[in-house]
Structure 1
Amino acid sequence: MSYQFYRTSTLGTTLQETINEMTQEGLLSPDLVHTILKKFDKSISKALNKQVKARVTFKADKLLNYRHCDNVWTLLLKNVEFREGSNVVEIMDTVKIVACISQTD
């Protein structure tokens, strides 16, 4: 199972814009569009899992809200500090984290 989170990234939106143009020109069928997007979802997830080595930790002052539905956790945090090693990278007022079970096919 692949999640569609990365379709809203710059790469994902650019892919979708290109697919839309090609569909309007009659170059792609709806079935092929569906196949391309599914392959993108799997590929981006697999690439991030294997190629990203940086580790970031975070600490929040308060957990404002949490939800668990269909093996997807959604957390809303307040006053969050992100660190890479011992260096503070970013401090945010509020952060929304969506976490899913990772399964590569």
Structure 2
Amino acid sequence: MKMIKRSSIVVLLGWSASVYSALAPSAVNLRDLDTMVDFVREHPSVAMTLESIDLLSLSVFYDHHCEAKFVRNEPSLLSLAQPGPQPNIKFTMSTCPLNEMDK
């Protein structure tokens, strides 16, 4: 009986420690913001006409009606069912052509 009790305590402690490995929402927002700001830095035409950065829609708005969209990468199969930090975001598309000279 003592062995079962000890085993269950070890399992519970191990499980609770893995729950704390997830990043706080503010840390995820800062990481996402860094990715979007890096995108703006890499594209001077976007930087010159920047209007706003929206963390909720993961979009950068620029040049009146243009939008650069980002999506969160899919988690790996190994980490799918486990708690932990969310995957990074990546640029997917822009509603306006990006200037070739920016790259």
Greater relative CO (CA pairs within 8 A, separation 6+): 2
Same fold (TM over 0.5): no
TM-score with structure 2 length normalisation?
Answer: 0.25
Please, what TM-score do these two structures have when normalized by structure 1? 0.25
Structure with greater proportional strand content:
1
